[in-house]
Structure 1
């Protein structure tokens, strides 16, 4: 009589899950599609009704390659909303391995025009670009830690390294996000890795949503000329790096990765 065999354990492993803020458009949407292509389930968040249809299209794109998706409205500046979305994601997807903080905001204000940048704009920008990632990381900490492979990827900007960009408020918020990345990497180790990506100008990124076509084209041309590689990045390039940092770089934490086509080399 043959001995009893244990149940088969050769079936497919459960799909890991990623929560991506600001993922209806731009870099966040590209991240959602990239993680889905790599076999992940995806939580897609959007600010309000203005981007709800775009978020649903991203979800359909992810589902077309086999992902389970969850679409949630989220203002990352609202701590209660951050906690609620994190809890819903864990309940619906059974856990959470990665958080990508991609939600961002800016307005184009010349750096030399100090009177055009008031405290309200500083606070608005910082609430989304700095406080938002802090609140989302805190909201997801327990689930990320429990996963055994937790990682946070913050989408920063070369502006936070060089003190340049769309406005001083934006550059300052991204510089602070880089510092937050270092502090969280220490505080959350060894359970959770925390890194940041600092792109230069990204075609299809945040500027495309706050500039008209002529302004966007002019800025794009200037950025191409200023970078040593003579090009700007695409959102899909940033997404590919975000996935690699989250899923294939277990020894990397506390890093701010410049992805600016060499723009920083001409900053002197």
Structure 2
């Protein structure tokens, strides 16, 4: 198969869904990662939209916290298309816990968040590496994009556990970039508030609307990002930045200027 293939975890909603649509619109085949029955309807809706754009598609089920599930997912994608040119690690989890409430974040919460946000990202990447490497050529490196967060850079975000997990994602990105070169490039995107996706599902509509208003007011650019903006960045790095690896790119509407 000569058509390029993008595999996206956490692709039922938010950044993952927008990324699947962005690559589909560019003519790539797209593997759409679904978590479980609770997100399957949304994943199938994204698949239908990708097909309307003319893309070849498949939906794969994967709780990235399970190494066996990651291996099974990669095997399914490789079996269908015999290649993977880009892996976009979007799957993530969190709970909203005030950073000052240290007692509310026990070891089980840390382990739960790390299991998906960090270990799951590593496991999916490890499973995909042999196929990514085989899909690269002397003139075409394959790519991994890890979705990090502004929380990784300034210690904010939905909880201390979440911020710490995303900080670890940045370090994972650097280590993978160094060790998978020259065949595979690895970069991370660190968005600030992104409208839709995980926060909306976790908070509910009323609380979510308040968060969006608050983040809009405090951002120097007086806005929050849309999922498609982050998807565009992922697309640019994969398709048009062959010299870029080991970078953590902040897209946070100027929030880092606030100190």
How far 1:209 sits from its partner (Å)? 0.8
Take 1:153 and 1:212, find their aligned partners in 2: how far apart are those partners?
28
Q: Give the conservation status (yes or no) of the 8 Å contact 2:64–2:70.
A: yes
Take 2:180 and 2:82, find their aligned partners in 1: how far apart are those partners?
22
Match of 1:107 among 70, 90, 95: 95
Take 2:166 and 2:18, find their aligned partners in 1: how far apart are those partners?
20
Match of 1:27 among 10, 15, 24: 15
**Structure 1 consecutive aligned stretches of length 4 or more whose deviation exceeds 6 Å:** none
Aligned match of 1:153: 145
Aligned match of 2:5: 17
Match of 1:162 among 154, 159, 172: 154
Aligned match of 1:217: 209
Aligned match of 2:167: 175
How far 1:14 sits from its partner (Å)? 2.7
CA-based RMSD: 0.9
**What does 1:230-241 correspond to in 2, within 5 Å?**
230-241=222-233
Aligned match of 2:238: 246
TM-score normalized by the length of structure 2: 0.97
Q: What residue ranges of structure 1 are gaps of 5+ in the alignment?
A: 1-12
Equivalent pairs counted in the alignment come to 255
Q: What residue ranges of structure 2 are gaps of 5+ in the alignment?
A: none
Aligned match of 1:67: 55
Take 1:142 and 1:38, find their aligned partners in 2: how far apart are those partners?
25
Q: Give the conservation status (yes or no) of the 8 Å contact 2:195–2:212.
A: yes
Aligned match of 1:10: none
How far 1:226 sits from its partner (Å)? 1.6
SS in 2 for 1:52: helix
How far 1:71 sits from its partner (Å)? 0.5
Take 2:2 and 2:133, find their aligned partners in 1: how far apart are those partners?
17
Take 2:142 and 2:131, find their aligned partners in 1: how far apart are those partners?
8
Q: Give the conservation status (yes or no) of the 8 Å contact 2:62–2:70.
A: yes
1:126-167 deviations in Å (ceiling 9; x for gaps): 010000110011000011111112100001100011111000
1:192 aligns with 2:184: yes
Aligned match of 1:87: 75
Greater mean deviation of Cα atoms: 94-103 or 205-214: 205-214
Match of 2:195 among 160, 179, 203: 203
How far 1:205 sits from its partner (Å)? 2.6
Take 2:36 and 2:7, find their aligned partners in 1: how far apart are those partners?
17
Q: Give the conservation status (yes or no) of the 8 Å contact 2:60–2:76.
A: no
**Which one has a bigger Cα radius of gyration?**
1
Take 1:206 and 1:244, find their aligned partners in 2: how far apart are those partners?
23
TM-score normalized by the length of structure 1: 0.94
Match of 2:64 among 66, 76, 83: 76
1:44 aligns with 2:32: yes
Greater mean deviation of Cα atoms: 120-129 or 143-152: 143-152
Aligned match of 1:6: none
